[in-house]
Chain A
């Protein structure tokens, strides 16, 4: 019984670790994609927000697809 509880605790711990590692990987990836220079130069990374801004300003949209290796 004690051995089973230990295994359960270990499994839950492993899941928590894996999830936090995935979240931080995604965070790193997000930061890498949205580099500070681009944001400082007026680039947005949220298409829906950009569409709304285009509607408000009546400016055309310039949408760039750029592969990040």
Chain B
């Protein structure tokens, strides 16, 4: 509180500790988070969101300094002549209690549980889409890394990324992304949650006194992220069910593989999932989806869990009798 005390009284502050009584059409956010701030006008339209995390840890994308920065940015927006607001879905309010059983006995529905309830309903209705596992992608997926303490300023642009090609540079202030005003990392995630799977999205930024506008071309499967940290999606984390002993350097060289490249030999008996894909005991696994992976068999398990989810078809690259082959493997669903 000390770090925001001087500007805190510029806001009417309210803390909500139960999601049951909140309109989730209005408070639409990444429900796997344990902390999220909404800034709204007195007319109940959203200026900004603050909060977010990534697989590296719960506080890698948020700080008190960042919250303070966003609060100041919102106050400037609030007093601007032409106030900007985040777009939101229309329609009647939605409360989780409409589809969730009563929590009862004083139990609290955690935010991630609200998401589980929503996803179970979608699944029951037959509308499940694997891409729902990858909601609220970070701007990093486009090569755009925002600062943590000044949360709409570009910290780094990945070389040759789509953000780089759009013209963004380190130090730029991102004004808007996909027509969502950007005050924070949380806003950028919300903007990308609304973005199409293919095509391009508008971006606007400030560099010194100049305002720049461009479009970011969305790359293939740009929205995918590591879901292993998300409490709501633990049942979607996939296992390759491919285990074995790493090849020696000499064995790799004999097969034309690089020294650090993934290559392990499967035992004689393998599990049903790879067997159904036409993979056999004794095959050598040396890649996935044609990607060159530098790791051992043990790290391959972690890599796989953070890159693929249950229900997907994944191409496994194998070597059998010196021949390079591909086998499409369906990752067991439920």
Q: Which residues of A contact B (CB under 8 A)?
A: 22, 25-26, 28-29, 33-34, 38, 41-47, 50-51, 53-55, 57-68
A38 to B1 alpha-carbon distance, docked (Å): 9
What residues of A have a CB within 8 angstroms of the CB of B36 in the complex?
64-65
User: In the complex, which residues of chain B have a beta carbon less than 8 angstroms from the beta carbon of A58?
Assistant: 42
Whether the Cβ atoms of A43 and B35 lie closer than 8 Å is no
Kindly identify which residue among A26, A28, A59, A66 contacts B35, using a CB–CB cutoff of 8 Å.
A66
Question: Number of A-B pairs whose CB atoms are under 8 Å?
Answer: 119
Q: Do A66 and B15 touch across chains, with their CB atoms under 8 A apart? A: yes
Given A41-B1, A44-B12: A63 touches B27 (CB 8 Å cut-off): yes
CB distance from A52 to the nearest CB of B (A): 9
User: Are B17's CB and A33's CB within 8 A?
Assistant: yes
The answer to whether B16 touches A54, judged by C-beta atoms less than 8 angstroms apart, is no
| Shortest distance from the beta carbon of A69 to any chain B beta carbon, whole Å | 8
Which residues of chain A have C-beta atoms less than 8 A from B75's C-beta?
60
Of chain B, the residue at the smallest CB distance from A51 is B44
CB neighbours of A59 from chain B (8 A): 10-12, 42
Known contacts A42-B9, A60-B47, A61-B40: A67-B14 contact under CB 8 Å:
no
Binds A, one of B102-110, B246-254, B287-295: B102-110
The answer, yes or no, to whether B262 is at the interface (CB within 8 Å) is no
Task: Tell yes or no: B302 within 8 A of A by CB.
Answer: no
Known: A22-B106, A26-B106, A47-B22. A64 touches B13 (CB 8 A): yes
- Chain A nearest CB, measured from B87 CB (Å): 18
Least distance between A48 CB and chain B CB atoms (Å) = 10
Known: A25-B105, A67-B111, A68-B108. A45 touches B40 (CB 8 A): no
Contact B106 A61 (CB under 8 A): no
Q: What are the nearest 10 A-B pairs in CB distance?
A: A50-B14, A67-B34, A62-B11, A54-B42, A33-B17, A25-B106, A61-B40, A63-B38, A54-B12, A26-B106
Complex CA gap A42/B38 in Å reads 17
Summarize A's interface: helix, strand, loop or mixed.
mixed
User: Which residues of B lie under 8 Å from residue A29 when comparing CB positions?
Assistant: 106, 108
Which B residues, 112 to 150, have Cβ-Cβ distances below 8 Å to chain A?
none
**Among B1, B15, B40, B71: residue with most chain A CB under 10 A:** B15
| Residue from A28, A55, A57, A63 within 8 A of B14 (CB atoms) | A63
Considering the complex, give the chain B residue whose CB is closest to the CB of A29. Answer: B106
Taking A26-B106, A60-B74, A60-B75 as contacts, is the C-beta distance between A45 and B42 under 8 angstroms?
Answer: no
- 15 A-B residue pairings within 8 Å (CB atoms): A25-B105, A34-B17, A42-B9, A44-B13, A47-B22, A59-B10, A60-B47, A61-B14, A62-B13, A63-B27, A63-B38, A65-B29, A65-B37, A66-B16, A67-B110
Nearest CB of chain B from residue A17's CB, rounded to whole Å: 14
| B11, B27, B34: most-surrounded residue (chain A CB, <10 A) | B11
Is residue B19 contacting chain A, with contact meaning CB distance below 8 A? Answer: yes
Interface residues of B in 180-206 (CB under 8 A from A): none
Smallest CB-CB separation from B17: which chain A residue?
A: A33
Tell me the bound Cα distance from A50 to B108 in angstroms: 22
